[in-house]
Chains A and B, each alone.
Chain A
Amino acid sequence: MFRWERSIPLRGSAAALCNNLSVLQLPARNLTYFGVVHGPSAQLLSAAPEGVPLAQRQLHAKEGAGVSPPLITQVHWCVLPFRVLLVLTSHRGIQMYESNGYTMVYWHALDSGDASPVQAVFARGIAASGHFICVGTWSGRVLVFDIPAKGPNIVLSEELAGHQMPITDIATEPAQGQDCVADMVTADDSGLLCVWRSGPEFTLLTRIPGFGVPCPSVQLWQGIIAAGYGNGQVHLYEATTGNLHVQINAHARAICALDLASEVGKLLSAGNSFAVTGYDLAEIRRFSSV
């Protein structure tokens, strides 16, 4: 089902964060970009086919008030209709770069107004939805940025309320037609999932409650939500109804990442137990339909 390819050495190690690998395929240029967080810096690597590394560079979180350099929570390439942006979230705010990571086009400082002194303030959870980029925050708010076809004129267009706990991950897929309306799902530290329809304004369609453990990683494929939880389980839900269809005891530790090959419907889960497990979602869906 999966084939092990050649490994690519990074110059430094990856931080023990969830969803800590972003990949951008550029088939027209025969290039693949990788992005990994290492504490206060993000490592970007470009590689040719067969995994031959070409160039590596580092990006840092923008400084702000505080004693030490701010920690980065996530790095993610966002593929939009007319451009690709690289987004970095940290304990200070949100940075957006052109896809090669050289030009910063936007900086959004987080507002820590409501936070108590014991609360960590950060942005986490990044996904592209049409010409929007959605980014989650520590408060549970999801910030929606409207991205123009080119240039730095990026605008914060909406703040979505639906979560009370820090956002962990956001997943999107292109809308499947008029019937399949759910095209974004957001997850948080309590395990709550919110299912949305994108648009000039985003609409909350349904909520899937948690059960006492975080949901660090979530994916969306053809109306199926795949959610990985802190207790090592992967759940598959129907996005429009929120019904649980499949529950997998997948890992002996918390899940730290899910990845989806959307063209073939194959899912990978990785846990803190240092195992990687693969699933065929199409097969599971066939199996589980009544």
Chain B
Amino acid sequence: MFNRKFMEELFKPQELYSKKALRTVYERLAHASIMKLNQASMDKLYDLMTMAFKYQVLLCPRPKDVLLVTFNHLDTIKGFIRDSPTILQQVDETLRQLTEIYGGLSAGEFQLIRQTLLIFFQDLHIRVSMFLKDKVQNNNGRFVLPVSGPVPWGTEVPGLIRMFNNKGEEVKRIEFKHGGNYVPAPKEGSFELYGDRVLKLGTNMYSVNQPVETHVSGSSKNLASWTQESIAPNPLAKEELNFLARLMGGMEIKKPSGPEPGFRLNLFTTDEEEEQAALTRPEELSYEVINIQATQDQQRSEELARIMGEFEITEQPRLSTSKGDDLLAMMDEL
């Protein structure tokens, strides 16, 4: 996942992914490993990832802290792969690129990034049992926002009015009750390659082992047709699919050595529960995954065919020789 080609594609300036596109990339990433997931567990994993990420973006004290969250993710990954110098180097390279590209952005640019990311998550209120248990999420799926704790770095504790004369000298101070219970920020998180990030968002939520459930029933009632993405084919969707094809072409797949074919991940308590969940998932929350078929690019189509050959699919892939229209037609059928 951290190979240079894939990262290069990710770092290109681009618009926010559509929900379909992100789900497709996520599914390919999950299946590009030795891990196998059936549809129900895949949906659940994706829901969990989405809500956890929404939580992290929403609760960032400063918009720039989104970068610290990313550093936390990568620091944790580095802990997992400590013994693999090649991948370690790739992750370090990714960290370096992140710093280079995002380290110099202004607060206003980070605010735009945060606002744009939040558009992706708007109206998603899937309940996650761990969040419910820890009281960071309410029963209606909304996150609990703290009114206490440290203020962001660069912000002062609310409750003070200062008045100045024409010479700029402070002449009066008034304190007022703010309603929250805030304290000053202890220190700023580090944006260096190595350092104390200070922020806890983005660190391992499972530091104490606990089961995680996601609940989709109940939240579907609030999904009015008003907020659903248009599923009419967008003539420019072709561009997005081609981009996805390039992105997936950049993924290197390593065949697992040895007889072990991999492991199947079931996010439910039993296999029966997993099947049941697949059957009862509300219609509007089912994800439409785009099957990328071969494009005209010979090299790409070979790589894509190889990627798709790595895992089981229930139907035979149809090879298409015509251009984008077939891609769109296939999207319609999903």
Contacts and interface: CB of A to CB of B under 8 A. Distances in A.
Interface of A: 11-13, 15-17, 38-39, 58, 65-69, 71, 117-118, 120, 165-166, 168, 188-190, 212-214, 216, 230-233, 241, 243-254, 273-275, 277, 284, 287-288, 290
A239 B43 CA distance: 55
Interface string B146-180: 01000110111111111111101001101000111
Contacts of B156: 231-233, 249
Contact of B163 (A15, A246, A253, A275): A246
A71 B165 contact: no
Contact of A165 (B62, B106, B154, B162): B106
B118 A288 contact: no
Given A11-B224, A15-B118, A252-B151, A274 B163 contact: no
B123 interface: yes
A230 B111 contact: yes
Given A68-B236, A168-B108, 8 more contacts: A12-B123, A243-B168, A244-B168, A247-B161, A273-B147, A274-B145, A288-B172, A290-B171
Contacts of B145: 273-274
B325 interface: no
Given A15-B115, A39-B122, A275-B180, A166 B108 contact: yes
Nearest to A37: B119
21 contacts: A12-B123, A16-B114, A65-B236, A68-B15, A71-B116, A212-B154, A230-B63, A231-B154, A232-B158, A243-B164, A244-B164, A244-B168, A246-B164, A252-B180, A252-B182, A253-B155, A254-B63, A288-B163, A288-B171, A288-B172, A290-B165
B227 A12 contact: yes
Contacts of B152: 231, 252-253
B69 to A, nearest CB: 16
B171 to A, nearest CB: 6
B239 to A, nearest CB: 5
Contacts of B165: 290
Given A213-B107, A287-B163, A17 B178 contact: no
B109 A189 contact: yes
A249 B161 CA distance: 6
B223 to A, nearest CB: 10
A17 B115 contact: yes
Nearest to A244: B164
Interface string B222-258: 0010110010001011011001000000000000000
Contacts of B155: 231-232, 251-253
A38 B108 contact: no
A214 B107 contact: yes
Interface residues of B, number: 55
Interface string B169-207: 001101000111010000000000000000000000000
B163 A250 contact: no
A11 B226 CA distance: 7
Nearest to B170: A247
B112 interface: yes
B13 interface: yes
Nearest to B156: A249
A214 B180 contact: no
Nearest to A124: B112
A230 B107 contact: yes
Contacts of A288: 163-164, 171-172
Contacts of A246: 161-164
Contacts of B160: 248-249
A185 B159 CA distance: 27
Tell me which of A216, A230, A243 has the highest count of chain B C-beta atoms within 10 A of its own C-beta.
A230
A232 B111 CA distance: 14
B226 A214 contact: no
Given A38-B227, A212-B107, A68 B171 contact: no
B16 interface: yes
B159 A249 contact: yes
A290 B167 CA distance: 11
B18 interface: yes
B266 to A, nearest CB: 34
Contacts of A188: 108
Contacts of A231: 152, 154-156
Contact of A71 (B106, B119, B151, B161): B119
